[in-house]
Amino acid sequence: MVSVGEELLAARRVVVKVGSSSVSGENASQIPTLVSSLARLHAAGAEVILVSSGAIATGVPFLRLEERPEDLATQQAAAAVGQNILVNRYQRALGSHEIIAGQVLLTAHDMENPTHRGNARRAIERLLQLGILPIINENDTVATHEIRFGDNDRLAALVARLVEADRLVLLSDVDALYTAPPTMVGATRIAHVPYGDALEGIEIGEAQSGWGTGGAATKVEAARLAADAGVAVLLTETRLLAPCLKELTTGRVLMPCPHNCRKVD
């Protein structure tokens, strides 16, 4: 039986999404380890796209603020500062693997407008052809509440559909999908979600970190969005991606259809 890690290493094109809480604050130290996993996928022949949250969370300390701002203007200012710092941190880590990053900032309007969407796809495709690793984030500096994706899980799923990826990896600070918020007594891990499963009776929680806007609910919706286009989805904790690729066993996945149809089984 082929393992999750083996499937990832054999993939043609992989979109990896990482949440704010995994790459900002004290967890910014996880970036080199995350990048090493991306580099391993790259070395195995996969075209890798990283969708990274964290611009606002990264920028907040540099604005001498103690918590995420609530007003849009200050969020935009934090994003303007944080995006620059975040991408530089990624590039420093990627440099040791001789990989160059390319920054791509998108808004919801870009994905809804056919012309903008086509331009985004061509740009990403060309970056991949040139051996560049695209790092995609929502353009928080110009996006407004009315036109935002709401979370980067949805953005990652839309990007996976846009570039016809065959794998989407959703990374966060939780290692799997559970029957209830994992801090609740009796919550159990769900090893596999078949395509079309309504997850009835499952209590899905929201983000708890105070920085991200997602949580299990947005990841489930993103997985469904990607699966509808035939993209297999893996959900795991950021620090477990490396063991997943080494041990070839970690993670929770929506497996692809064995008959190469555009759904998951």
Residue 173, marked binder: yes
Residue 172, marked binder: yes
Distance CA 27, CA 116 (A): 34
What average pLDDT does the chain have? 83
Residue 255 binned pLDDT confidence (cut-offs 50, 70, 90): very low
% pLDDT > 90, the chain: 51
The answer to whether residue 83 scores a pLDDT higher than 80 is yes
The residue assigned the tokens 């509440």 is 145
Residue 209 binned pLDDT confidence (cut-offs 50, 70, 90): very low
Domain ranges of the chain: 4-254
Residue 36, marked binder: no
Residue 246, marked binder: no
Residue 72 binned pLDDT confidence (cut-offs 50, 70, 90): confident
Residue 153, marked binder: no
Going by the DSSP 8-state scheme, the letter that residue 174 receives in this structure is S
pLDDT score at 129? 97
What residues are paired with 237 via a beta bridge?
A: 172
CB atoms within 10 A of CB 125: 15
Q: Does domain 4-254 fall into CATH 3.50.50.60?
A: no
The answer to whether residue 55 scores a pLDDT higher than 80 is yes
Residue 102 binned pLDDT confidence (cut-offs 50, 70, 90): very high
Residue 251 binned pLDDT confidence (cut-offs 50, 70, 90): very low
Closest CA to 176 of 263, 75, 249, 111: 249
Q: Is 182 exposed, middle or buried (0-12, 13-18, 19+ CB in 10 A)?
A: middle
User: Which tokens belong to 240?
Assistant: 């477990």
Q: Is the pLDDT higher at 45 or at 225?
A: 45
* pLDDT tens per residue, range 183-208: 677 666 666 665 656 565 566 555 55
Q: Which distant-in-sequence residues (6+ apart) come within 8 Å of 100 by Cβ?
A: 91, 94, 131, 132, 133
| Amino acid in position 122 | R
The answer to whether residue 262 scores a pLDDT higher than 60 is no
| Mean pLDDT of the region 216-239 | 86
C-alpha distances out from residue 189 to 33, 174, 236, Å: 25, 11, 11
pLDDT score at 173? 81
The answer to whether residues 149 and 119 touch, using CB atoms and an 8 Å cutoff, is no
Q: Is the pLDDT higher at 246 or at 7?
A: 7
pLDDT score at 119? 97
Residue 37, marked binder: no
Distance CA 234, CA 194 (A): 12
* pLDDT tens per residue, range 123-144: 999 999 999 999 999 988 887 6
Closest CA to 152 of 110, 212, 208: 212
